[in-house]
Amino acid sequence: MKTVTLAAAAILTLTLTLPAQAQRSGAYAVEGTAADGTRYQGAVQLQTTGPETWRVTWRIGGETVTGIGIMANGVLSVGYAQARDVGVAWYQVGADGVLAGRWTSGREGGVGTERWLPR
């Protein structure tokens, strides 16, 4: 019984850590939809700042937005500043390194969606 329990725990641990291991610093293409349905594209630069922390820089439509994030259980949570406004986002990290999530900001309200594709 202990062998089965340890094997199940090992499989569970491996499953939970794979998406986070697929995460990497670097450049990503961004595809998104704002809360009003407007589609946009751009780029994101993701830079590790610690074992679970990240610096995020978006470049969309000539605008640069900066944020910081924390990774836990395969989810990257990000707080960001855009001009005089702030917002939050979260992204589920796929085993293939693609991040997909949702965001909101005080300026627009509502919820948008976004996907980051490794370059």
pLDDT in tens, 18-65: 444 446 899 999 999 999 999 999 999 999 999 999 999 999 999 999
CB atoms within 10 A of CB 85: 12
Q: Per the structure, how many domains does the chain have?
A: 1
For position 57, which CATH number holds?
Answer: 2.40.128.120
Instruction: State which residues form the domain around 98.
Output: 2-118
This model's pTM is above 0.95: no
